[in-house]
Structures are given as C-alpha cells and as structure tokens.
Amino acid sequence: MAIPQRPRIDCPAQPETGRRRLAGVPAFFSFRPGSSPAYAVLVALAVVLVLSFRLPAQDPVFRSNAPLVVAHTTVTDAKGDYVHALEAEDFTLIADGRPVAFDLDFSFVPISLVVVAENCGDCGAAIKKMRKVGVMLLPLITGERGEAALVTYSDSVRVVQRFERGGTGITEAMAAIRPSGNGAALYDALAEAVHLLTPRLRGRRGVILHIGEKVDRGSQRSFEEAANLLERNNILVYSLTFSRIRSAFTDKEAWKDRTEESEFHEKPKDGILRTPPPTAPYGLPGPPEPHSTGAVVMGQGAAPNPGPSSGPSPMGDANLLGLFDILRDAARKNATRELTQLTGGLEESFNKQAALEKAVARIGEELHSQYLLSFRPVGTDPNRFYRIEIRVTNNPNARIRTRPGYWLAAER
C-alpha cells in the first residue's frame, strides 16, 4: 500500500544575484544589501534564534563575583607530620555556629610571595642572615609556577624587587639589603605588600613572609588598617622575628661594624661617634631580652595547635570594635603575633643563621601541604567578628591551624 505523502508547498524562486547567505542558515533568512535598518535587525534576531537551536550544547561555565572567605588550613597528626590526601568530605567547616558549604583547593595553587624585610640601621646582624636565605625562596616556597617580590622598611618603605617568576631577581635583591634608618614602619610595609599582591590574586595564593621585629615604630597606617587589608584580600602572613640585641650577640664579627669602614656602620645624626658598651654590640643599652619559648595560642609558636579541630577561637563572636581594642593593646607588645594569628599563619623567632634557614624550610613545607577552604561569608553585621572552626571528621588525632574567624570588610 502506498503511503500518502504530504503536499509540498514551493516558495517562489528568488534570484541569487546580489544576495549574501550565512552558512547553516536557511535561504529565507538571507537579505539584500540596502535593506532597511529595521529589516536588518529582524533578520539578525532571527539568525540568533536559529543558531541557538542548531549549535551543540556546551558545558556550563560557573562564574561568580560573590565575596569569599579563604581559610588557609594546616593539618598535622599527633607527631606533627603533615596530613596529606584529604578530600572535601573529610572536612567540616563551621561558621557562626553552623556548618556551611565550601570549596576545597589544594596546596598546588601557585603562590605570589612578598618578602617584607626590616633593614633598620641597628639590624646589621639580622640583615647578614637575611641575605643568605634569598636563594631558598624559589625552590622551597614559590616553586616554578610561583613568583616573589621584596619590600624593605625602616623609617620608610621601599619596593626593592617587583614580582618575578623564576629567575634570580629575588635572590640578588635579598643579598643586596643594606641597613638604613632607625624606624620600623611595619604596618606601612604590609600595606605596600598587599598593594603589590592584590592585582595578582586571581587563581593565586597571596603570601607575605615578614622578617623583622615584632612591633611597629613610626607607621602612618594603624594596626586596624593593616589587619583590614589582609582580611579582605585573604592574604596569609608568616613572620620570622628577631631581637636586635640577641641577634647581635650571635654575630662573631659584630666588632667590625663599629668601624666606619663597615657597610653596617651608621654615623649618628648629631655627628658624635660614641663607643657602644661591651654588652651591646650595636650601641643598644640594657641586657638581652629573655628568650620566648613560643607559647601556643591558636597555632602560634613552634608547637602545633592541640585538639581535633581549629577552634573554638579565644576571640569568640565579639563586637569588632571591642576586638580591635584588645588586639591593638596586644600589638604594642607583639604585632606580628596578632597579624599571623588573624590570617592563619605562624610566627617564629630566630637569632642564628641555622634557625632562620630551618624556619624558611618549615614554612615552605607547610605552604605546600595546606588545604584552602573557601566559602561565602554568613551574617550581615559589619560590626561583628564571626568565628569559624574546621574539623577533620574521621581523624580524631588531627591537629588543625587556620584563621580564627573573619569580619565583613567593606571592600572584600
């Protein structure tokens, strides 16, 4: 039996002369040059509709401009060894008292590192030690995909080396650090480091390695300003601190720096050369400071933070103004401890060359063993500190160090 066919409706033939046709578009969408603008717009819309049905479907691409909080998280076992190969389901992230969804990245995210080094006139012994660790930064911290820059500070702040990927720029810049001035504008230097890092943070980790004293002397910026810059850009801070007095006592050639021929000799502003007392190689009076054992406070010091989770934070869910009052007072004695604690980093002290080199190596190993947990901030109160806690669900012996919380920085 013959199958009846549908009647065909033939369109009137159209001359092809002077016509343009898009590939894959039916002939009735072709147009003549000189057509009216309204007609051209209608044709263009029709072409878009046709192509949208003809093109194959593509994988969706998720793009979000939502602000994120990034928690740089270090996990160790009871022996202090780093715990690797954890997956997202192994973590629980609690913000404002309740679990929240998060994304997990690993330590192979490329690093943008800014070394912030103090170069005051009385820091000669420490500067000699700093000069020798520049060669360690590329292989141990930044790696082949990372980059490094150098900022020095005393009375003022100077960008000595801008970002360079690979190469010997950071090594040569560190080796050329010279003492200058008598201040310690730490907060200004950190602000400059953040300024260098901010344009480079898309797809990279922002890390600051501070080498200097624990306190600020002479910055135009305040502790709050420095903390806010670090907070809203999710920058991780490590600090290797020294005492000018104790470091000088470990310098076997400190006596040479009392002569005008030494590059570390700085002539007093009043022009009067004074003989330093024998107990102070760089002319600083008084006995050496008592050595700090590095007490553990939310991961500060050399010992890991005890317990199966990163919290609870001793700061609590505090009013932000009250919190800064507490931190400001504490920062007068040890600003670097407070800043490293807020970001999830670590503070260590050194006086000898070997101690500095071991600290740099430990920081490099930690950075390449970390987990990055990012989440959308909960809460809407800009005057509140929101505590976070991270737990490893199936490892009761795990020890976690991360940032204790966050606040809703105005320009996150």
The DSSP string of 171-239 is HHHHHT-----S-B-HHHHHHHHHHHHGGG-TTSEEEEEEEE-SS-BS-SS-HHHHHHHHHHTT-EEEE
Average pLDDT, the chain: 76
Distance (Å, whole) CA 4 – CA 320 = 81
CA–centroid distance for 196 within its chain: 11
Contact 193, 184 (CB under 8 A): no
CATH 3.40.50.300 fits 108-249+278-305+314-368, yes or no: no
141 DSSP 8-state letter? I
Distance (Å, whole) CA 406 – CA 370 = 19
Output the CA angle 288-293-294, nearest 5 degrees: 115
Query: At 69, is the pLDDT very low, low, confident or very high (cuts 50, 70, 90)?
Result: very high
- pLDDT of amino acid 272: 45
How deeply is 288 buried, as exposed, middle or buried, from its count of CB atoms within 10 A (0-12, 13-18, 19+)?
middle
Distance (Å, whole) CA 335 – CA 347 = 10
What pairing do the DSSP bridges indicate for beta strands 69-76 and 399-401?
antiparallel
Distance (Å, whole) CA 260 – CA 247 = 21
Task: State yes or no: pLDDT of 16 exceeds 80.
Answer: no
Average pLDDT over residues 383-396: 91
Query: At 267, is the pLDDT very low, low, confident or very high (cuts 50, 70, 90)?
Result: low
| Residue-level length of the chain | 412
- pLDDT of amino acid 139: 93
Task: State yes or no: pLDDT of 316 exceeds 70.
Answer: no
C-alpha dihedral sign at 365, 371, 377, 381: negative
Task: State yes or no: pLDDT of 260 exceeds 60.
Answer: no
Q: For the chain, what are the domain ranges?
A: 108-249+278-305+314-368
What's the maximum distance between 2 C-alpha atoms anywhere in the chain?
121
Query: At 223, is the pLDDT very low, low, confident or very high (cuts 50, 70, 90)?
Result: very high
Task: State yes or no: pLDDT of 397 exceeds 90.
Answer: no
Is the model more confident about 381 or about 16? Answer: 381
Query: At 236, is the pLDDT very low, low, confident or very high (cuts 50, 70, 90)?
Result: very high
Instruction: List phi, psi (to 5°) of 161.
Output: -135, 120
- pLDDT of amino acid 321: 74
How deeply is 162 buried, as exposed, middle or buried, from its count of CB atoms within 10 A (0-12, 13-18, 19+)?
middle
138 DSSP 8-state letter? I
Contact 224, 324 (CB under 8 A): yes
Is the model more confident about 290 or about 196? Answer: 196
Number of Cβ within 10 Å of residue 74's Cβ equals: 23
Distance (Å, whole) CA 230 – CA 249 = 34
Average pLDDT over residues 72-85: 94
For helices 186-197 and 320-343, give the axis angle rounded to 10 degrees.
70
Distance (Å, whole) CA 74 – CA 58 = 37
Contact 239, 359 (CB under 8 A): no
Contact 364, 74 (CB under 8 A): no
Distance (Å, whole) CA 344 – CA 236 = 7
Q: What is the pLDDT of residues 119-159, one digit of tens each?
A: 999 898 999 999 999 999 999 999 889 999 999 999 999 99
**Nearest residue to 236 (alpha-carbon basis) of 281, 286, 145, 299:** 299
